[in-house]
Amino acid sequence: MPNCFFVSDLHGSMHRYRCLVDCILKEQPAAVFLGGDLLPHPMNFAWRTDKNQSDFIIDFLIPKFSAIKSKLGAGYPKVFLILGNDDPRANEPALIQGQDMNLWEYIHGRKTTWEGFNVLGYSCIPPSPFMLKDWERYDVSMFVDPGCVSPEEGGRTAGPTGREIRYTTIALELEELTEGELDFSKTILMSHCPPHKCKLDRADLDGKMVDHVPLDVHIGSIAIQRFIKEKQPLLTLHGHVHESRTLTGSWMEKFGLTTSYSAANETPALALVRFDPQNPAEASLELIEP
């Protein structure tokens, strides 16, 4: 099977998107996985080519991927994407518009199949210090780490409210996502958040404290960690923790039968993971600099 691409945390960077488009056109991968935090900050207008552009998905992503599809024709890859905690959920209708144009498949909270593999998507992270809570859930309980803000506080642009926020956890949503018979040896999970307490979720929080309580340097999800250990999916794809590779030297980790990647990156470079799902341990990471 030809290479697949995995990228994450592009944050609307023109350089990263240009590199991704160039690599897709040149290498024609079988599939492209975009793992969340895809959109620019609301005050970042660097992507605009004229003053009439106002919506990143409608005015940039859809035209870019439409142009790739026009050039590649039958060679256009299968594209899977989710949003991340920095992406307002109010953008979902625009993603559905791109899906209706057969440009990509939006897979948060969904399972689909591709080339004999089950593909699952999940955007949510545990409580964080950030105030946009569209993609935050309690993890396995209502515990909130020191320095973090409850999912019931902060702001939301769309999504659940009230009791649904209070009583929904990442653990419960993963359980719902995997209901039914699944061959986990053929399952790919793309979750924006990495599993807890590993090389992929290591944050730069050493020595930092809140009210004399030291902060946990591992900010991944316990529920995702347990899911991986119990279900042993073939492959999991993550982002979110930009500095993890710098701190640990690792972007790939094995958990029993599961191989996990992170494409998060703290430099302006595009972190492009190339992989073959039939041989996930042989993946490679290329940093494409500006």
CB 202, CB 243: distance < 8 Å: yes
Percent of the chain beyond pLDDT 90? 91
Which residues does residue 262 pair with via DSSP β-bridges, in sequence order?
238
Structure tokens, 4: 């697949």
Q: Output the CATH code of domain 4-288.
A: 3.60.21.10
pLDDT tens profile 53-82: 889 999 999 999 999 999 999 999 999 999
Distances in Å between the alpha carbon of 50 and those of 53, 65, 94, 251? 6, 19, 20, 37
The predicted model scores a pTM of 0.97
pLDDT reported for residue 50: 83
pLDDT tens profile 108-161: 999 999 999 999 999 999 999 999 999 999 999 999 999 999 999 999 999 988
pLDDT at 1 over 60: no
pLDDT reported for residue 130: 95
Closest CA to 259 of 240, 278, 286: 278
CB 34, CB 238: distance < 8 Å: no
pLDDT reported for residue 190: 98
Lowest-confidence region among 21-25, 160-164, 219-223: 160-164
